[in-house]
Structure 1
Amino acid sequence: MSVKIMADSACDLPLDFYEENGAILFPLKVHIDGSEYEDLRTIQPKQVYDSIRAGNLPKTSQASPAGFKEVFTELAENKQDGIYIAFSSELSGTYQTAVMIAEQVKEEYPDFNLSVIDTKCASLGQGLVVMEAVRLAKENHSKEEIVKAVQFHSEHMEHLFSVDDLDHLAKGGRVSKASAFVGGLLNIKPLLNVEDGKLVPMEKIRGKKKLLRRIIEVMKERGVAFEAQVVGISHADDLETANEMKKMITEELHAKDVYITSIGAAVGSHTGPGTIAIFFLNKQPS
């Protein structure tokens, strides 16, 4: 590919995606019991969910500045254009760090053509943007064309998700404590979305079946041309619900394809087990 595509592990694409497509991964860090792990490389989501179930909430930190410096410098030395598609700046400092390192490298290599893009997306919402960028890069589209597509898909990517316990997001500062509530005993399911890169609670729904039905209703309200787009589903140790959701989306919305992946260790440290998330476009590319 004439343009090197880069992403961080918060996009929740599997490791083999990077290997098969020549993309570069910047892993976020996960900390459990005093040990530091690299998301996707040295820790798997199941370890995180087991830790949370045992009452031990993991912590996370952004991707390594040294990792950015090494990769960006190598691309600059090889005179290769690059696009880094970043996790929402409202949820992590990773984007700001990448921008800072990119500026340092460009001081030494003024002709380095690198774009660092804040998707304002998370999990597979970000992942679908990365997948589109890789597709275009493999078809040898120009860097400008890919950047334009990344910006469009980022702007129009809908996120709908539900967590078993909002306390995990509140403790990590991802939603306000005032927004968190305990609903497990009452079978209350929160439905959230992402607005301008931030996690925002939408509704409280009683029961899983009503939750999944409501997700389909919101998709019909907000989505367009499902027969022409790939819908993403990410889940936290709940493949059964992901498959149930896929069946509903396929039968009722006739999506072109439905791509399922596990929520990774970094994002999963904040959502907790039992999370289900759906991603789709609310506008068709021209």
Structure 2
Amino acid sequence: MNVQIIVDSGTDLPKAYYNELSIEMVPLTVYLDEKDYLDQVDIESKTVYDAMRDGAAPKTAQPSPESFHEVFKKYADKGKTIIYFGLSSELSGTYQSATIAREQILEDYPDADIYTIDTKAASMGYGLIAYHAAKLAHEGASVQDILDLANHYVSHMEHIFTVDDLEYLQRGGRVSRTQAFVGSLLKIKPLLHVEEGKLVPLEKIRGAKKVLRRMVDLAKERGEDFNQQTLAITHGDDEENAQKLAELLRDELQPKDIIIYPIGSAIGAHAGPGTIALFFLSKTE
């Protein structure tokens, strides 16, 4: 394989895929209890969720350009084509760090073949893009074929998600303090999605039981050809509801496959425990 796929830990990809598809991962940093941890390396997401339930407010930081430079250089030295897929630049400065590192590498390796792609996605929305690109790379596909597939996924990736407590979104500036307070009183569950890389409120659902049902309905409205799609569900330490959502999807949409995995520490530090997210491809116009 002469094409090396590189990602950051905002993909929330299952760890097995990194080895299986030879994907290199650059971790974000999570700050918790006055300590620094590398996401997906030396902290488990459940540790973050348990701390948040106890009142902790973890913070995150993007990888430095130097972190990306080190990884890019390793593969530039081998003459490999490098494709980095990045967490949405609207949600993190991680993609910017990678872009700076690319420019530095090209100063020393003018002939290096390096692509940096802003997926405009997060969690397994981002992860699915990188996963399918890595599968093609592993099979020996051309760089152009990999980029074409990736750009199609970037243009059509849907995120539908809900959070258990609006307070976590309020901390991150996604909803106002008043909205969080009123929403908690009324037991309102927000549904959100992603537009051009930004988190955007979609609907408000009263009652947790109705949320999963509505997520399936939205998938029906927005997606197609589910029997040819691999869907993804990520969750903030809520395997039970993730499995309930998967069961509804299998019964009604018969997808090719469903990947279920916990949301990582970096994304989870902002979304909070109890988050449920669904990712699929939208209809082709």
TM normalised by structure 1 equals: 0.96
Mapping 1:113-192, distance limit 5 Å: 113-173=113-173, 175-177=174-176, 180-182=179-181, 183-192=183-192
Q: Which residue of 2 aligns with 1:97?
A: 97
- The 3-state SS of whatever aligns with 2:180 is coil
- Residues 65 and 100, structure 2, Cα contact 8 Å, conserved in 1: no
- Return the offset for 1:154: 1.1
Which range is displaced more, 217-226 or 58-67?
58-67
Which residue in the other structure is 1:88 paired with?
A: 88
- Residues 121/44 of structure 1: CA separation in 2 closer, same or farther (3 Å cut): same
Secondary structure of the 2:273 match is coil
SS at match of 2:72: helix
In the TM superposition, residue 212 of structure 1 has moved relative to its aligned partner by: 1.0
Q: CA deviation at 1:19?
A: 2.0
Two-structure CA RMSD over aligned residues (Å): 1.5
Where does the alignment leave 5 or more consecutive residues of structure 1 unmatched?
none
Kept after mapping to 2: 8 A contact 1:179/1:201: no
Q: CA deviation at 1:172?
A: 2.2
- Contact residue 166 and residue 184 of structure 2 kept, 8 A: no
Give the aligned partner of residue 224 of structure 1.
Answer: 224
Partner of 1:208: 208
SS at 2:237's partner residue?
coil
The aligned amino acid for 2:72 is F
TM-score of the superposed pair, with normalisation by structure 2: 0.96
Name the SS of the counterpart of 2:90 in structure 1. Answer: coil
Please list every run of at least 4 consecutive aligned residues from structure 1 whose deviation after the TM superposition is greater than 4 angstroms. none
> Is 1:26–1:64's contact at 8 Å kept on the other side of the alignment?
no
How far did 1:185 drift?
A: 4.1
Q: Higher mean Cα deviation, 22-31 or 62-71? A: 62-71
Q: Percent identity?
A: 48
Deviation at 1:167, TM superposition (A): 2.4
Cα distance in 1, alignment partners of residues 256 and 22 from structure 2: 25
Partner of 1:19: 19
Confirm or deny: 8 A CA contact 1:68 1:101 kept in the other structure.
yes
Query: Is there any run of 5+ residues in structure 2 with no aligned partner, and where?
Result: none
Q: Tell me the SS of whatever aligns to 2:63.
A: coil
Contact 2:222/2:282, CA 8 A, preserved across alignment: yes
Kept in 1, the 8 Å contact 2:170–2:180? The answer is no
- SS of alignment partner, residue 68 of structure 1: helix
Tell me the alpha carbon deviations over residues 59-101 of structure 1, each in whole angstroms, 9 at most, x when there is no partner: 0000232221111112111110011110000000000110011
Alignment of 1:256-271 (within 5 A): 256-271=256-271
Mapped to 1, the partners of 2:187 and 2:35 lie a distance apart of 35
Q: Offset at 1:179?
A: 8.5
